[in-house]
Amino acid sequence: MRQWLSPSSDDVISLISENLQQVQTRIHEACLVANRSPSDVQLLAVSKTKPIEDVARAMAAGQRHFGENYLQDAIPKVLALPDACWHFIGQIQSNKTRDIATHFDFVHGVASEKVATRLNAQRPDDKLPLRVFVQINLVDEATKSGVEPKALPALVDHIQQLSRLEFMGLMAIPPQSFGQQARRDFFIGLRQLLEQLPAHPETGPAKNLSMGMSDDLETAIACGATWVRIGSAIFGARRTPGETI
Ligand SMILES: *Cc1c(COP(=O)(O)O)cnc(C)c1O
List of domains in the chain: 2-235 (3.20.20.10)
Rounded-to-integer distance, Cα 194 and Cα 172, Å: 12
Q: How far apart are CA 172 and CA 137, in angstroms?
A: 7
pTM of the model: 0.93
For ligand 1, whether the C-beta of 135 sits within 6 Å is no
For ligand 1, the distance from its centroid to the CA atom of residue 230, given in whole angstroms, is 6
pLDDT-flagged residues of the chain (< 50): 241-242, 245
> Among 89, 178, 183, 187, which is best to mutate for testing ligand 1, by the most ligand atoms less than 8 A from CB?
89
Instruction: Give the amino acid at 15.
Output: L
Distance CA 23, CA 39 (A): 14
- Provide the pLDDT for residue 144: 65
Atom of ligand 1 nearest to the CA of 215: 7
The C-alpha atoms of residue 217 and residue 225 are separated, in whole angstroms, by: 8
Could you read off the pLDDT of 222-231 as tens digits, one per residue?
999 999 999 9
SS3 content of the chain, % helix, strand, coil (to 5): 45, 15, 40
State in Å: Cα 202 to ligand 1 middle. Answer: 33
217 Cβ inside 6 Å of ligand 1 = no
Q: What is the pLDDT of residue 12?
A: 63
Is the CB of residue 17 below 6 angstroms from any atom belonging to ligand 1?
A: no
Question: What pLDDT was estimated at residue 70?
Answer: 94
244 C-alpha vs ligand 1 centroid, how far in Å?
A: 5
CA of 56 to the centre of ligand 1 (A): 19
Q: Which amino acid is at 139?
A: V
Nearest CA to ligand 1 atom 10: 229
User: Given the CA of residue 171, which atom of ligand 1 is nearest to it?
Assistant: 13
3-state class (DSSP) for residue 212: coil
Residue 89 Cα: closest atom of ligand 1: 13
* DSSP E strands, 74-232: 85-88, 106-110, 130-135, 165-171, 208-210, 227-230
Give the SS3 label for residue 86: strand
Q: Which atom of ligand 1 is nearest to the CA of 229?
A: 10
Q: Is the CB of residue 48 below 6 angstroms from any atom belonging to ligand 1?
A: yes
Q: Tell me what pLDDT residue 167 has.
A: 97
